[in-house]
Structure formats: C-alpha cells, structure tokens
Structure 1
Amino acid sequence: MDKNQQGIQALQEGKMEEAVKYFSEAIEENPTDPVAYINFGNVLTTVSELEKAQKFFERAISLDSNAGAAYYSLGNLLYNQDDFDGAKNHYEQAIQKGVENEDVFFMLGMSLINLEQPKFALPYLQRSIELNPEDNEARFQFGLCLAKIESYEEAIKELSIVVEKDPKHADAYYNLGVAYAGYKEDIEKANKCFDRALEIQPDHMLAGYGKKMIEKLNNPEE
C-alpha cells in the first residue's frame, strides 16, 4: 500500500493527522504527482482550511490539466462557499476530463438550480439518477426541476417514486400536494399529501399553508 492509499485509509478512519502525514510524505517522494495534492486538499477541506485546500487543488491542476478529480474537489469547495457559478464551471471541467460518477452530475445540477437555471439542470440530474437509481435526493431534486419548468405529469411521477422509496419525505409530499392542487386541480389528493407532510413533520409551514389555502377554497365565506 503506497502513501496515498495509506492516507486515504487514515482519512476514512477519521485520523486526520495521520492522513496529513502520509499525504505530505507522498508529495515529498513525488512532488509532480497531482494525486497527493488532491488528497491533501480534501483533508484540508474536511478541517475547513479552505484557502489552503484551494491552493492544493490548483497545484494539482497545474501539474496535470486533465486531473478531473481536482476540478471536482474544487467544485465542491466553491459550492460549499455558495460560489455556484464557479462550482458549475469546475464540475463541467471535471466531466470534460472524464469524471463520470453520479455525484458530479448531481452537484452540477444543484449548482444550476442555485443559479435558477432548472431547465439546464434537468439533464444532469437525470444522468445522476441513471447512474444511481437509488439516489432519492437526486430524484427529488429532479422532480422539483420538472415542476419548475411546468412538466407536472413527469414531476408527479418522480415525486411519487420518492415517497414510495421514502414514506417519510415530508417535502416530497408537500410538493406533490402543490402539483395535485395547481395542475391536476385534485383537491382531495392535494389535501392528503399536505396531511401526510404534516403528519411526518408537524411544523412544516408550507404544508400547513397549503392546507389552509385548500380550506379557504372549500369554504370561501369563512
């Protein structure tokens, strides 16, 4: 097991100082290998040394412009600082450099959602689900995106799968309720969805508001 592998194992076990030691030794032994810089940057990100982490990722990219993992890690760092445009650019670069896992597509989709570009987010979230059909959070975000671009039939389909996989997903029930009320005009189903959301999360303000709106529609004189 080389120093990078030992460092990754230590990192997975939560042994930060040990991980730093191994990655430092890996850099000393091979200062032109971008992998150790990426790994060291990930450790620094974990302990919130973000400026230092960014320098390590950038160093990795300067050593190997095709280091997709460095672009991905830098994208995560920027995303967590709410720099969604910067994150988007780096996730796109990571994909161009060959990173093909569900996480990079999901995070690119989420960056675009935060940039209020749901139409552009859709194909990336869809690809994330294709790569990992069990990722319920990706499917939930995909459903929300579909609703935002008014593809309500598809949104209802995806959100229904979400609550089937996770019967305690209050937000999915709330958004199903909105779709049934606004698009299907099925007040009974909408009410059931809002009730279910409130049963799971009694302080779900939006579901409570949705239920009150339905009550006003049903009793306009009150």
Structure 2
Amino acid sequence: MDKNQQAVKAMQDGELETAAKLLNESIEENPKDPVGYINFGNLLSAVGENEKATVFFDRALSLDGSQATAAYGKGNALYNLEQFPESAAAYQEALKLGLVEADVYYMLGMCHYQQNDFLRASAQLKTAVDQNPSDVDAWFHYGLSLAQTEHISEAVEAFLRVNELDDAHADSWFNLGVAYAYQDDAEKALDAFERSLAIQPDHALSANGKKQMDAVLNGEGSE
C-alpha cells in the first residue's frame, strides 16, 4: 500500500492529520503525480478548506488534463463555495472526461437548481435518478424542479417515489400536499400534510397547508 492509499484509508478512518502528513510526503516524493494533489484536495474539502482545495485540483489537472476525479472534486469545492456557474463547468468537464456517474449528474442538476434554472436542473436530475433510482435527494430535488416548471403530475410521481424510499421525509410529504392542492385534490392534499405533521409536528408549512385544506373541505361539506 503506497502513501496515497494509506492516506485514503486514514481519511476513511477519520485520521485527518495522519492523512495530511502522508499526502504531503507523497507530493514531495512524486511532485508530478496528480493523484496526491487530488487526494489532498479531497482532504481539504472535507475540512471546509474549499478555496485551498481548488488549487490542488487545478494542479492535478495541469499535470494531467484527463483526471476526471480532479474536475469532479473541483466542482464539489466550488459548489461548497456557492460558485455555482463555475461548479457546473467543472462537473461538465468531469462528464466530458468520462466520469459519467449519477453523482455528477445530481451535482450538476443542483448547480442549476441553486441558480433557479429549474428546466436544466430537472433534465440533469432525471438522468441522476435514471442512473441511481434509490437516490432520495435526487428524486426530491427532481420533484421540486418539476413543480417549479409546472409539471405537476410528474412532480407528484417524484414525491411519491421519495416517500417509497423514505417514508419519514416530511418535506416530501409537504410538497406532495402542495402538488395535490394545485390539482384541486383537497383530500389527498390534506392527507399528505397530515403525514408530514405526523413525522415533524412543528412543520409550519404543513400546518398551514392542513388548515387551508380543512377550510376547503369544510366549505365543500356545507354547500
């Protein structure tokens, strides 16, 4: 096991100081090996030093422009810095370099989501859930993006999928309630808001939604 592999194991074990020491030694011994810089960038990102991390990822890419994991790591660091256009460009580069994985599409979709570009977000998140159908967060944000672009029926299906995967997802039940209310299905909306409140009793938005649906249903009953 070389020092890079030892460092990765140390990171996984939470021994970050040991990992940093090993990576420093690895870079000193092999200054033209991009792997050490990538691992050090990942370590820096893990401890919140995202600006410094981008320097290491850029160094790795300058040594070997085919390092897709360096582009992905750079994208993550930039995302954490809320530099979403730059982050999206890094994720696109990772895809171009062959890192065609669900996590990359998810993060690319989230870059667009954070910029309120819900149409592009939904396209990337759709690819993410196609590639990893058990990703709760991807399904949830896919549903939100669909709702924002008024694809309500598809949003309902996405939130139902979230709830299949995680029945205790209060925010998904709330958004499902909103979608049902948008479809004028007050009974289903009320049920969804109540499910949300059963999970999280202080969910103020669900409480408000329940109040509104109670009023609608009581109004219908009095006619």
Same fold (TM over 0.5): yes
Query: Is 1:66 the equivalent of 2:71?
Result: no
**Number of residue-to-residue matches in the alignment:** 220
Consecutive unaligned residues in structure 1, runs of 5 or more: none
Cα separation, 1, equivalents of 2:18 and 2:119:
44
Q: Deviations over 1:147-206 (max 9, x none)?
A: 1111111111121121122111111111111111112x1111100001111111111111
Structure 1 segment 1-222 matched on structure 2, within 5 A: 1-183=1-183, 185-218=184-217
Bigger drift between 25-34 and 194-203 goes to 25-34
Cα separation, 1, equivalents of 2:7 and 2:177:
48
Q: Deviations over 1:31-83 (max 9, x none)?
A: 11111101011112222233322211111111112221111111111111211
CA RMSD of aligned residues (A): 1.6
Bigger drift between 111-120 and 23-32 goes to 23-32
Residue 113 of structure 1 aligns to which amino acid in structure 2? Y
1:66 is paired with a residue whose SS is: coil
Q: Taking every aligned residue pair, what percent have the same amino acid on both sides? A: 46
Residue 210 of structure 1 aligns to which amino acid in structure 2? G
Instruction: Tell me how far 1:215 sits from its aligned partner.
Output: 3.1
Residue 94 of structure 1 aligns to which amino acid in structure 2? A
TM-score of the two chains, using structure 1 as the length reference: 0.93
1:106 is paired with a residue whose SS is: helix
Cα separation, 2, equivalents of 1:211 and 1:84:
35
Residue 172 of structure 2 aligns to which amino acid in structure 1? A
Instruction: Tell me how far 1:219 sits from its aligned partner.
Output: 5.1
Consecutive unaligned residues in structure 2, runs of 5 or more: none
Cα separation, 1, equivalents of 2:48 and 2:135:
27
Cα separation, 2, equivalents of 1:123 and 1:84:
17
Cα separation, 2, equivalents of 1:168 and 1:17:
37
Cα separation, 1, equivalents of 2:135 and 2:49:
29
Residue 90 of structure 2 aligns to which amino acid in structure 1? H
